[in-house]
Structure 1
Amino acid sequence: MVHMSDTPVLALRGISKRFGAVQALTDVQLEIRPGEVVALVGDNGAGKSTLVKVIAGVGPADDGEIRWEGRQVQVHDPQDAQQLGIATVYQDLSLCENLDVVGNLYLGRELRRFGVLNEVGMERRSRELLDTLSIRIPSVRVPVASLSGGQRQTVAIARSLLGEPKVVILDEPTAALGVEQTAQVLDLVERLRERGLGVILISHNMADVKAVADRVAVLRLGRNNGVFDVRATSQEEIVAAITGATDNAVTRRQARSVEAGA
């Protein structure tokens, strides 16, 4: 069990982002600690994708700051994010169907030896990586096209770990998967946590969130709408925060405390 450090590996402070007249994010805060899974949830249009793009350097914020291990950093482009140690696995996975698993893992970062592709080294390291993550695949030499959706997702996540990131963002990793394949992917998320990585899990699936997340950060209309400890919070409370249902236990308690202080 990795003990969570007090200093967040990644902290967002006051993040705002506009697209023309549309205010997509307003003053958003988010913290991720090593060895912690934070689920980022919210309805379509809540700002989840925009926030991921800010962190990944694809669409930098207009305002606010990003802190990495306690110091302020600039994330202007995807290279900045990768160099810090942020890896993002997008929903479309960007895998090459016709290449085998090794070819996909090392796409764009091939190992060379004396100027020649080091196929033996890449195959060995691919096997080692998949073994340490307990990813079960018939062979690292099968084309990705022949793998199940769950296996493809695990290969994409494994590929993101080659750069030895400290934070991994998973965008809806179980969206199109059945029960068994979802379980494979969630098992892998647990192993990322055990390795001390910070994981941001974007998901619509409350069962997945309850299964692996430590905390849930809710976005609603581009703003924070609560951060909840998964073990201490009911699904109803989280759903109420997502939908903005005004009459729920949380808002009633807040109203009572305001009246008491008035």
Structure 2
Amino acid sequence: MTTTNETRPAEAAPKDTAGRTGKPVVELKGTGKSYGNIRALHGVDLAVHPGKVTCVLGDNGAGKSTLIKIISGLHQHTEGEFLVDGEPVRFSTPREALDKGIATVYQDLAVVPLMPVWRNFFLGSEMTKGPWPIRRLDIEKMKKTADEELRNMGIVLDDLEQPIGTLSGGQRQCVAIARAVYFGARVLILDEPTAALGVKQSGVVLKYIAAARDRGLGVIFITHNPHHAYMVGDHFSVLRLGTMELNASRDEVSLEELTNHMAGGTELAALKHELAQVRGVDVEDLPEEEDLTAPVATTGEAVS
């Protein structure tokens, strides 16, 4: 049945907290995860600061999904430390992570396509009114609140009664982001939000990622696309085969270096001499291995 929730959560992220503190909200130190004899993640260091976008890049099988599951409370780490506000934590459920202000927006968005936008905004946390046992949904208040919160994020919809399934992919992503901000997220994990979108809709989502950052949230942006990451990112981590290959702030890595790391440039550089012996393969433009070495930032530093 519906859940009583008549007021905005008290722990909702303030709009003016960006950059107030250099301390990370979420921090991983040498964190890893093993499934029996299979080591899916090993020795990962990551720091998520308020008002900053931390981009996590990697190919399929790099360990991005495992990382998301640890931070969001779906799985527990088996090595290293996981800190929230400097305190070690070990979540048993996603609800525990949410109670700490860690919200995850997955690719499928967990929306009901045939329900209106305002109903999806409050799905599972509906506002009610009236005395028990005849409490009923406070529809007008939910509509008004949803409209206000969407407008606060710069999202203007003509009709909140329209089924959310009729919105574009970018608009649905933005509604999910606004919903997480309203319900008190301090850290927002976005799982490949631009993966299935065109150029224009991807730009819309990137705009609202920047808006969430400007409201003081720490954003973890999971993506395959280094160009999208570089447009909004403050810090970049590249995972490869469960380990962290690159961990650098924006002023320590260029878009070209980030793209090379993401595209497996290190492996190509190591194989350059072998590829040179294959007929029809031009290796002149391939990078040298030493050219791909970027300074590694320590996770304890504040990201500029």
Q: Which amino acid aligns with 1:155?
A: V
Question: What 5-or-longer segments of structure 1 have no aligned partner?
Answer: 255-262
* CA–CA distance in structure 1, aligned partners of residues 20 and 115 of structure 2: 38
The aligned counterpart of 2:96 is 80
Asked if 2 retains the 8 angstrom alpha-carbon contact of 1:39 and 1:200, the reply is yes
* CA–CA distance in structure 2, aligned partners of residues 94 and 79 of structure 1: 15
State the 1:146 CA deviation.
Answer: 1.1
Asked if 2 retains the 8 angstrom alpha-carbon contact of 1:86 and 1:166, the reply is yes
Structural mapping, 1:150-189, within 5 Å: 150-189=170-209
Q: Which amino acid aligns with 1:61?
A: H
The aligned counterpart of 1:208 is 228
By percentage of residues, which structure has more helix? Answer: 1
* CA–CA distance in structure 1, aligned partners of residues 295 and 23 of structure 2: 30
| 1:128 aligned residue (137, 140, 148) | 148
The aligned counterpart of 2:211 is 191
* CA–CA distance in structure 2, aligned partners of residues 211 and 252 of structure 1: 19
**Cα distance, 1:128–1:172 mapped onto 2, change above 3 Å:** same
Local SS of the residue matching 1:129: helix
* CA–CA distance in structure 2, aligned partners of residues 59 and 148 of structure 1: 31
The aligned counterpart of 2:240 is 220
* CA–CA distance in structure 2, aligned partners of residues 172 and 35 of structure 1: 20
| 1:19 aligned residue (35, 40, 62) | 35
The aligned counterpart of 2:73 is 57
Local SS of the residue matching 1:96: coil
* CA–CA distance in structure 2, aligned partners of residues 78 and 158 of structure 1: 19
Cα deviation, 1:177-231, whole Å, max 9, x if unaligned, reads: 1121111111101111111100000011121111100111111111111212224
* CA–CA distance in structure 1, aligned partners of residues 42 and 54 of structure 2: 20
Local SS of the residue matching 2:23: coil
Count of matched residue positions in the alignment of Structure 1 and Structure 2: 254
Local SS of the residue matching 1:182: helix
State the 1:19 CA deviation.
Answer: 1.9
Q: Which amino acid aligns with 1:129?
A: E
Task: Please give the TM-score of this superposition, normalised by the length of structure 1.
Answer: 0.92
State the 1:106 CA deviation.
Answer: 0.6
* CA–CA distance in structure 1, aligned partners of residues 294 and 128 of structure 2: 62
The aligned counterpart of 1:241 is 261
| 1:47 aligned residue (63, 66, 72) | 63
Local SS of the residue matching 1:161: helix
**Cα distance, 1:136–1:183 mapped onto 2, change above 3 Å:** farther
* CA–CA distance in structure 2, aligned partners of residues 252 and 203 of structure 1: 20
* CA–CA distance in structure 2, aligned partners of residues 47 and 111 of structure 1: 38
* CA–CA distance in structure 2, aligned partners of residues 131 and 80 of structure 1: 29
The aligned counterpart of 1:258 is none
* CA–CA distance in structure 1, aligned partners of residues 208 and 201 of structure 2: 11
Local SS of the residue matching 2:140: helix
* CA–CA distance in structure 1, aligned partners of residues 209 and 51 of structure 2: 10
Which deviates further from its counterpart, 172-181 or 13-22?
Answer: 13-22
State the 1:162 CA deviation.
Answer: 2.8
State the 1:64 CA deviation.
Answer: 2.1
Local SS of the residue matching 1:18: strand
Asked if 2 retains the 8 angstrom alpha-carbon contact of 1:74 and 1:80, the reply is no
Task: Please give the TM-score of this superposition, normalised by the length of structure 2.
Answer: 0.79
State the 1:252 CA deviation.
Answer: 9.2
Asked if 2 retains the 8 angstrom alpha-carbon contact of 1:11 and 1:31, the reply is yes
Question: What 5-or-longer segments of structure 2 have no aligned partner?
Answer: 1-15, 271-288, 297-304
The aligned counterpart of 2:285 is none
